[in-house]
Amino acid sequence: MARIELTNVQKFFGAVQVLRDVNLVIEDGEFVVMLGQSGCGKTTTLRAIAGLETITSGTITIDGKEVQNLKAADRDIAFVFQSFSLYPHMTVEENIAFPLRAVRSRQAEREAEVKEVARFLGIEQLLPRRPSALSGGDMQRVAIGRALVRRPKALLMDEPIGALDAKLREQMRAEIKRLHIARESTSVYVTHDQVEAMSLADRIVVMHDGLLQQVGAPEEVYLRPANLFVAQFVGSPVMNVADVTVESEGTDALLRIGGANGFRVPSETVSHLNGSPAKLGIRPEAVMLSHDAKDGYIETETTNVEPLGSHDIVDVRVGDETLRARCESGFTGGEGQKLWVALDPHRAHFFDAASGNSLRRSA
């Protein structure tokens, strides 16, 4: 097991800076998922930990020992790539055993370790086969087995299930989580898929343009996004974001979006804004629809309906803005239907219009 710490890590490719003052601590036995768009620096960070990329400045420590100047082979780290990278001329058993042969371990030890890993991953019956006879999921299990057989300090995974179909990805997510819990391994996992991040992580590290945007538990990142980027990157469908003006009316306040009449909310839910130009962020599940007029609701009409089986996503007009709402399947008949809409003020987020940073209530 290993505690991994990155301190002021910077990385340049020529004149292009891809990592900017990355400071991150991954605790012993923790499962950390690095989440972000392509090109944000997450894979570069992972490769820097593994020793596959040299950093320009900063320090990387594993179990308190600085490793940024050590070769990858000297860091006792295992790496699982998106491509399976199995040797086609070798059997599954020989593929898994390869790292042990490379360090010249004894044959009896190799055989025992391979059988133990294969049993753990449920691929004992595959040991005599070659990779060409395996499914995608089985090949990925073999790749993970090859990484684990040396019992490394940490397991690093770079989009390891990205090439699999949806059903297999779901199955492999559960397998990877089970594996982590059973082995109590320190695991760092890179993905651009927020479902993988939310389902696997103890903590999520959201990256954008080489910077750490937010580090926190999945529920914290989802419920309390640090800025507009995190708010709109995490969650599906994405959070509704609109310019908003706030008018005080005694114990209530009026939220005006897109020139509409406005939503009446308790003043306490917006008192922290202090008149600053702000953007409202609200997730589709906090946009409430009704077939009938109700207190606090304003009239609207549907502009689009996406039936998704378990629920529908319904677009409605509010002034010159469009808000997306999540509701039960069949709630509305289609486009052009008159409805009434309200917002849950206790699930509303506000962001500084200039910086995009969250404007959070103190309580």
Could you report the per-residue pLDDT of 216-274, keeping only the tens digit for each?
A: 999 999 999 999 999 999 998 999 999 998 888 778 888 889 877 789 888 888 888 86
Ramachandran assignment for 51, one of left (phi > 0), alpha (psi -120 to 50 degrees), beta (any other): left
Q: Are residues 300 and 273 in the same domain?
A: yes
Structure-block tokens of residue 293: 């007029």
CATH number, residue 330: 2.40.50.140
Question: In degrees rounded to 5, what are phi and psi of residue 27?
Answer: -75, 155
Q: Are residues 129 and 11 in the same domain?
A: yes
Residue 362 has what pLDDT?
57
223 belongs to a structural domain? yes
β pairing state of 77-80 and 298-307:
unpaired
Give the total number of structural domains in the chain.
Answer: 2
Residue 173 has what pLDDT?
87
Report pTM.
Answer: 0.89
Per-residue pLDDT at 57 exceeds 80:
yes
Task: Please report where in the chains the tokens 């995974």 appear, as a residue.
Answer: 157
Q: Are residues 163 and 188 in the same domain?
A: yes
**Starting at the edge strand that comes first in sequence, how are the strands of the sheet with 321-327 ordered?**
287-290, 338-343, 298-307, 312-318, 321-327
Domain that holds residue 28: 4-233
Residue 351 has what pLDDT?
94
Q: Are residues 173 and 299 in the same domain?
A: no
Q: How far is CA 3 from CA 62, 153, 163, 217, in A?
A: 6, 9, 30, 18
Q: Residues of the chain with pLDDT > 90: what percent?
A: 61
Could you report the per-residue pLDDT of 166-211, keeping only the tens digit for each?
A: 888 888 888 888 888 887 889 999 999 999 999 999 999 999 999 9
Q: Are residues 106 and 139 in the same domain?
A: yes
Could you report the per-residue pLDDT of 134-174, keeping only the tens digit for each?
A: 988 888 889 888 888 888 889 999 998 887 788 888 888 88
Residue 170 has what pLDDT?
86
Q: Are residues 261 and 325 in the same domain?
A: yes
Per-residue pLDDT at 97 exceeds 70:
yes
Tell me the average pLDDT across 64-73.
Answer: 93
Residue 286 has what pLDDT?
96
The whole-angstrom separation of Cα 193 and Cα 225 is: 17
Per-residue pLDDT at 130 exceeds 80:
yes
Tell me the average pLDDT across 287-291.
Answer: 96
- Which of 5-14, 43-52, 104-113, 163-172 is least confident? 163-172
| Selected residue with higher pLDDT from 7 and 142 | 7
Q: Are residues 225 and 247 in the same domain?
A: no
Residue 1 has what pLDDT?
64
Sign of CA dihedral 19, 24, 27, 30: negative
Residue 247 has what pLDDT?
84
Among residues 233, 248, 269, which one ends one of the domains? 233
Q: Are residues 318 and 221 in the same domain?
A: no
Q: Are residues 224 and 264 in the same domain?
A: no
Residue 21 has what pLDDT?
96
Residue 145 has what pLDDT?
87
Mean confidence (pLDDT) of the chain: 91
Q: Are residues 182 and 225 in the same domain?
A: yes
Task: Please report where in the chains the tokens 């998922």 appear, as a residue.
Answer: 33
